[in-house]
Each structure stands twice: as C-alpha cells, then as structure tokens.
Structure 1
Amino acid sequence: MFRLAHISDVHLGPLPAVTLLELFSKRITGFVNWHRNRRRHLFANTLDIVLEDLERRDPDHLAITGDLVNLATPLEIAAVKLWLPEVGTPENVSIVPGNHDAYVRGAYDKSTRAWYPYMRGDAAPAEWREDMHVFPYLRVRGPVALIGCSTAVATPPFAASGYFGPRQARETVNLLRAAGEAGLFRVVMIHHPPIHGATSLHKRMIGIRRFAATISTGGAELVLHGHTHLDTIHWLPGQEKPVPVVGIASASQGPGGHKPPAGYNIFDISGAPGRWNVMRERFALTPDGLALSLAETTRF
C-alpha cells in the first residue's frame, strides 16, 4: 500500500514588510485583501498543527497543489525555500505552483527556480535552467506516478485565473500514457480546479476542456487541486471509469472563517492496474483550532 497525503494553499505567513515599489503593482490589491480578510483567518500556527498531525499519519509522499506564498515577494519566495526542508525532502514532497506564486510578472520564474528541487521530474536536469519547461513533470514513487502540471500565470488586478495550454496538454498526455503502460497509478497535480463552475469566472482555469481531453486521452486515476479553499470531489470522464478530482481547504485556514477550516487528504492506494483500490480520508481542524479529526471517508 502507498500512502499519499495532499495539502494546498499554504499561504505561508506572516506577510513580510513590503516596499512601496513592490506595492506599485497588482500586489497592492493583494496587500489590502490580506489585511482586510485573510490576516484574520490564515494563521501560521494552524499550518504547524496540520503538518504535525499529518506527520503522525506517516505518509509515503506529500503533494502540495500551489499557492505557497501570498504576494510572491522575494522575501516570501525565500521563506518558502527555507520552509520546504522542514516539511520533507525533495524525494518525499512534490509541489506545483498556484496563481499567488506567479502573482506579478517575473514571480513565476523566481519561485520555480527557488523551489525547483521539489518540482523536478525524475528525468529533468539537476539544476533549473531558464530555457527549459519544468511542467509537466513526472515522478515515480513506488506504484504511483505523480504528474505535476502548472496553471500559474501572472494576471491583472482582481483576476486569479490560470492557464493550461496546448504544449503542456500534449506533453501531459505522453507522460500519462507512458505511466499507464508501466502499470502505475497516475496522480495529476494542478492548482486551479479543472471543472466548469467550480469557481467564479475571474478565478477560473482557462483550458478546462483541454485538460479534460488530456485526462480522457492519456488516462489517469486521480486529480488533485487547490485554489478554491474548499473540500470537494468532482469527476472527469476517464478511459474506463470516471476520474475523481479532489480539492482541499487551505492548509492555513483557521476556524471561524467563511471558508472551511484547514485540513488534508490521505489516500491509501493499493491493488494493480484495472483493479486499483483507493481509500481517501479527509482530516479537518476542530472548532477550537487545536487539533484535527477525521471528517470524511470515501472509497474510489
């Protein structure tokens, strides 16, 4: 059995000091939003509680589906680079970026370069290069193939959309097919939900139909995403049966907000091609914000 854990939307805090020059961009809207709304409910100690509880479940691997920072300032990106080794090694943790990790022009390259060891495919160069495509990437861990995709792009103020383009779709299909032929359980990680109506228009993923075609053509067993800060299960057409598309609340969301409190998913994967068994357990923060408890069990 292989145990895969899933968290998302870390939004590592606290928000560092931001210069006037850094605020002279889309960051001004995020800065205001943080102080008006997110600061009240996104707590660093909540993330610590989540990770401590998760460690007790002893997962074989951890998937983090984006939004590790808030405004993608250099200080935030550097803080995440220091934080990731506390969570796990690049061998045991895989990440994909979210829209906050590409918040302004140039931030995507900076965050990808800083966190590259955690999103480097097994066959990719050892060092990040400016001219290469990091995504999609393929990592094989035990019977599981982790395919990391990116929808992270810089957007105008008041927009948080993502993009899944033709090149990435073609390469993802190839990775999925190869993993399927190797008899692996295929998990696709992406930040934006690839589901129509899962979020508002200004936060949607552009290329949803393209992604759905990628899954039905290449084949997959599970899709993990973040972005909405909601605990959800949707479905996409697969080659043999529908593919579960699973979202999770922000790993830093404290109790009392209008979004669900922090949590994580655990997927226990066993079986073989054509007869995979997946048990999903979702753990959520208790109302007092001091611990997590089992909130939902689903078998796929």
Structure 2
Amino acid sequence: MFRLAHLSDIHLGPLPDVSYRELASKRITGYINWQRNRKRAMFGDTLLKLVADLKAQSPSHVAVTGDLVNLATKTEIVGARIWLEDLGDPAWVSVVPGNHDAYVPGALKRVYEEWYPYLIGDGGKAPHHRRYPYMRVRGQVAIIGTSSAEATAPFFATGTFKRGQALATARLLDEAKARGLFRVVMIHHPPIAGAAAWSKRLIGKQYFSKVIHDVGAELVLHGHTHLDTLYWLTGPGGERVPVAGIPSASQNPGGSKPAARYSLFEIDGGPGDWSLVQRERGFRADGGGIDWIRERRLFNDGTTIDAEPGVAA
C-alpha cells in the first residue's frame, strides 16, 4: 500500500521585515491583508504541530500544492527552502508553486533556484519556470506536478494552465498509464468551474479538463481555496476522477475557514482495480488538538463510502 500525504497553503509566518521598496508593488495589498487577517488566523505553532503529526503517520510520500510563502520576498523564499529541508528529503517531498509563491514578477525564478530539489522530475531535470510539468515515480504511483502560478495585478490571485502545458501533461499521463501506474496530478488552483471566486480562478481550466477527459488520471490534488472539497472530472471512458482540496496547513482553529489539516491517500491494487481511501487528519474545530476528521473510500464512478474517523472505510 502506498500512502500519499497532501499538504497545501503553508503561508509561513510571521512576515519578515519588508522594505519600502518591496512594498512599492502588489506586495502592499498582501501586507495589509496579512496584518488585518492572516496574522491572527495563521501565526502560531499550528503548522509545527500538524507537520509533526503527519510525520508520525509515516506516509510514503508528501505532496505540497503551493503557497509556501505570503509576499514572495527573498527572505521568505529562502525560509521556505529551510522549512522544506526540515519537512523531509527532496526525494520524499514533491512541490508545485502557488500564486503567493509567484506574488510579483521575478519571484518564481528565485523559487526555482531555492527549491530546486523539490521541483525536479525523475532523471534530475527541473522544469523551467515557464515549462511544466514534471513526473516522479514512487512505487506504483506517478506524481505529476503542474504549475498554475503566475504574478498577477493587485486584488487578483488567478492562475493559468495553457495549451502547451496541457499537451506535455497529457504525454506524461499517457506514459504513466502505459507503465500501469496510479496517476496523481498536482496543481495549486482548483481546475473546476466555480470552485474559486472569479478573481482567484484558474484561467485555462478547460485545457486541464480536456487532458483528463482524453487521457485520464486517478487523482487530482489542489490547494488555493483553504477548504476541504471534493469535485470530480470525467475521464476517457466515462470514469470519474476525484479532485481533492485541503484547508491551509497553517489555519488556526476558530477562524472562518476550516482548521489546519492534511490528507492521507491510501492507494492499493493495480490497473483497472485501484483502491483509493482518503483519511483527513487535523485540528478539531474546538481547538482540542489533532484528530481524524474524515475517512472515505473514493470510487471511479463518482461515489464515496464514508466511515467513522479512525475506522477503515
């Protein structure tokens, strides 16, 4: 059995000192938002405790779907690299960037320089920041990282998935299918219409949907919304592909969004007979510590069977 952990929207805090020069950009709106909202909701030892709990579950691999930082300053990006090194070996952790990691022009270039070992596909070749995806094979699982991250204007947090990346993603999915692998696609923005506000949507989600429709996948993981969500896309044979989102890994209990959690996806079986169970673990809403939140078995006809937390589905 392969156990894949999913974390997202780390938003490492607190913010470092930011110069007036750095604030003379889109960062000024993000800085104000942090001070007014996220500073209270996300600063503390929530992330530290969640990661310690995740490691105690001994997953086979960890997928991180973006937004490790807030304003994408140099200090933050270097700090995120140190956090990743503490999280685990690059061979054990796969990362794709989010919109906050690309907050201003030039930020993604630094991200790729600092987080390089966590962004490379098998063979040691890293994607150029304008040319995704990458693929890693771990056991019977193919992990395919795509990027929707881009710098945007103030008050926007959109992402893009263009035709070129779609074609490259389809090729990797096809290759993984031929090898009899369970295919997991990582992306930051949800590739689902209406899943995010218009100003935060994925532009080009029709290309992503077409890739899944034409070639298929077994699981899609995303972040961005800070919500626990489950959507479905349609594969080439009419099968349904689960698209799972997860709350921010830094969200303190008691806020307007669900408290921090992560998912453990238990993958077993083989081509044509895969078994997929999602177990969500995180902070209870009352702040009473970390516990099992949800457990469910996901089927490729779009149905689920829920189980009591802590009880096998």
Partner of 2:211: 214
The Cα shift of 1:284 comes to: 2.3
How many Å separate the matches in 2 of 1:40 and 1:290?
18
What are the residue-to-residue correspondences of 1:16-27 with 2, within 5 Å?
16-27=16-27
Aligned-pair CA distance for 1:288: 4.8
2: distance between equivalents of 1:133 and 1:139?
19
Q: Any conservation in 1 of the 2:222–2:245 contact (CA below 8 Å)?
A: yes
Counterpart in the other structure of 2:177? 180
SS of alignment partner, residue 271 of structure 1: strand
**Structure-to-structure mapping, 1:258-269, within 5 angstroms:** 258-269=256-267
Native 8 Å contact 2:254 2:287 kept in 1: no
Q: Which residue matches 2:254? A: 256
Residue 118 of structure 1 corresponds to which residue in structure 2?
118
1:272-291: per-residue Cα shift (whole Å, max 9, x none)?
A: 00000011001120235362
Q: Flag structure 1 segments of 5+ consecutive residues without an equivalent.
A: none
Does the residue aligned with 1:140 lie in a helix, a strand or coil? strand
1:153 aligns with 2:150: yes
Q: Does 1:32 align with 2:32?
A: yes
Q: 2:94 maps to which residue?
A: 94
- Which has the higher mean CA deviation after the structures are superposed, 283-292 or 60-69? 283-292
The answer for the alignment partner of 2:303 in structure 1 is none
CA contact (8 A) 2:131 2:165 kept: no
Q: Is 1:225 matched with 2:214?
A: no
Describe the superposition over 1:229-255 as per-residue Cα deviations: whole angstroms up to 9, x where unpaired.
000000000123100000000000001
Q: What is the identity percentage for the equivalent residue pairs of Structure 1 and Structure 2?
A: 54
- Return the alpha-carbon distance in structure 1 between the equivalents of residues 124 and 167 of structure 2: 17
Task: Render the CA deviation track for 1:99-138: whole Å, top value 9, x for unaligned.
Answer: 000000000111122111001010343xx68x67552000
User: CA deviation digits over 1:151-210, x for unaligned, max 9?
Assistant: 000000000000000110000000000000000000000000000000110000001111
Please say which of residues 156-165 and 213-222 is displaced more in the overlay. Answer: 213-222
Among 129, 132, 136, the alignment partner of 2:133 is 136
* Residues in 1 aligned to 2:288 and 2:51: alpha-carbon distance in whole angstroms: 12
3-state secondary structure, aligned to 1:30: helix
Q: Distance in 1 between matches of 2:129 and 2:249?
A: 30
State the Cα RMSD in Å. Answer: 1.3
User: In structure 2, how many angstroms separate the alpha carbons of the residues matched to 1:133 and 1:164?
Assistant: 11
Q: In the aligned structure 2, how far is the partner of 1:264 from the partner of 1:135? A: 25
Number of the residue aligned with 1:105 = 105
- Equivalent position SS for 2:211: helix
Say whether the 8 Å CA contact 1:49–1:291 is kept in structure 2: no
**Structure 2: which 5+ residue stretches go unaligned?**
299-313
> Which residue identity lines up with residue 162 of structure 2 in the other structure?
G
Which residue does 2:195 correspond to in 1?
A: 198
Task: Tell me the distance in 1 between the aligned counterparts of 2:84 and 2:54.
Answer: 15
1:267-278 pair list within 5 angstroms: 267-278=265-276
Q: Contact 1:12–1:44 at 8 Å: present in 2 too?
A: no
Number of aligned residue pairs:
297
* Matches of 2:272 and 2:236, distance apart in 1: 11
CA deviation map 1:254-281 (0-9, x unaligned): 0111111000000010000000001100
Shift of 1:56: 1.3
Which residue in the other structure is 1:48 paired with? Answer: 48
Higher RCO (CA-CA < 8 Å; seq separation 6+): 1
